[in-house]
Amino acid sequence: MSHVLSVTQLRKNYGDTVAVDGVSFQVGRNEIVGLLGPNGAGKTTTINMILGVLEPTAGDIRIEGLDAATHRARAMERTNFAAVYAPLPGNLTVFQNLRIFGLLYGVPNLAERIETLIAHFDLEPFRRVKCGLLSSGEQTRVGLAKALLNRPVLLLLDEPTASLDPATARDVRRKIRSFAADGSGGVLWTSHNMYEVEEVCDRVLFLSHGKILLEGDPKTLPRDHGKKTLEDLFVAVAREPLTLGAA
């Protein structure tokens, strides 16, 4: 099984609003796929359906070949997630949060795994600090440590570096790249930072009005469409999705 995630004809309607309009894509092992698109394009809705937080209106989601609708628990054992809008419980310390999520995931040798992640994300000074008292960047690092607890085969990251200073963001990008390269997992990554996307992602999907308009290597895709940079391409897709094919 080479794909850790396979999404087919996924759709989500909110009343008359079509938030996700029949998207199909895969994430391979050791691959980082960027899910890009302007505000309201349907990125978070897509991620929430993969996580089982939202029920799709139609379509199929498979995680390591497991149908997420019918084998949800087994599919979620293999998945994890981090986003700034989903902070960990603020009244628990860093250690308590990692322990509770580790127990929920049934992580083997949990004590050792927690120590490894505390060291990996430079969280030692905050081990006994309640998460609600941490800065947003520190909370992001705890969220990433939590996201790696169960060694997921599918890691979903919704703007993982949004609240990080440049040095920490660079370090986090390096860590996620080595997560993808070293293990058997794949990553679906959303970001509005095109410099970051070009540096981190092996492949990008451009989403606009719930549809995938473009897919390819972020290093060659702009040139293929007559644009100088990924940011120029992003702006063109966001503003004039229908004329892009003519570029």
DSSP string, 201-244: -SEEEEEETTEEEEEE-TTTHHHHTT-SSHHHHHHHHHH-GGGG
Least separation in angstroms between residue 135's CB and ligand ATP is 22
Shorter beta-carbon distance to ligand ATP: residue 94 or 207: 207
Shorter beta-carbon distance to ligand ATP: residue 43 or 227: 43
Residue 195 sits in the site that holds ligand ATP (CB under 6 A) = no
Please list, in sequence order, all residues whose beta carbon lies within 8 angstroms of the beta carbon of residue 224, skipping any fewer than 6 positions away.
216
Residue 45 sits in the site that holds ligand ATP (CB under 6 A) = yes
Shorter beta-carbon distance to ligand ATP: residue 92 or 162: 162
Question: Which one of 1, 2, 9, 17 is in contact with ligand ATP (CB under 6 A)?
Answer: 17
Sign of CA pseudo-dihedral 128, 134, 164, 86 = positive
Least separation in angstroms between residue 207's CB and ligand ATP is 7
Kind of pairing between the strands at 203-208 and 32-36: parallel
CA distance 122 to 79: 23
Shorter beta-carbon distance to ligand ATP: residue 41 or 66: 41
Which positions lie near ligand ATP, rule CB under 6 A? 14, 17, 19, 37, 39-45
